[in-house]
Amino acid sequence: MELKQLRYFLQVAEYLNFSRAAEQLYISQPALSYQIAELERELGVELFVRDRRKVYLTPAGKALLEPARELLSRAEGLPQVARQSSGGPGGHLRIAFDDTEDHFELIGVTQAVADFALSHSHVQLDLERLPFTECADRVIYGELDLAFLILRHRERLPPDLISRPVYRSRLVMVVREDCPAQTCEEAIRSLDLLLVQAKPRGNSRILKALEDMGLEPYLIASSVVGIIAQRLVRKLCPDCEEVAETTEDEKQMLGEHVKMVHKAKGCPLCNYTGYRGRMAIHEIIQIDKQVRKMIQNGASSEEIEEYAVANQGMRTLKECSLQLVQEGITTVEELRKIAYYS
Same domain, 73 and 94: no
Q: Which CATH number belongs to the domain containing residue 130 in this structure?
A: 3.40.190.10
The answer to whether the pTM exceeds 0.75 is no
Q: Would you say residue 175 lies in a domain?
A: no
pLDDT of residue 236: 92
Q: How far apart are CA 37 and CA 341, in angstroms?
A: 46
- Point out which residues pair with 210 in neighbouring strands: none
pLDDT of residue 262: 92
Distances (CA, A) of 129 to 4, 257, 264, 268: 24, 33, 15, 16
Same domain, 237 and 334: yes
pLDDT above 60 (res 22)? yes
Average pLDDT, the chain: 77
Q: Would you say residue 294 lies in a domain?
A: yes
Q: Which amino acid is at 146?
A: L
Same domain, 124 and 197: no
Q: Which residue has the higher pLDDT, 112 or 288?
A: 288
Structural domain span for residue 115: 88-170
pLDDT above 70 (res 252)? yes
pLDDT above 60 (res 103)? no
pLDDT above 50 (res 104)? no
DSSP state of 105: G
Q: Which residue has the higher pLDDT, 52 or 184?
A: 52
Q: Which CATH number belongs to the domain containing residue 230 in this structure?
A: 3.40.50.300
Q: Which of 80-94, 155-169, 185-199 has the highest mean pLDDT?
A: 155-169
pLDDT above 70 (res 191)? no
pLDDT of residue 174: 54
Mean pLDDT of 63-89: 71
If DSSP codes are grouped into helix, strand and coil, which group holds residue 338? helix
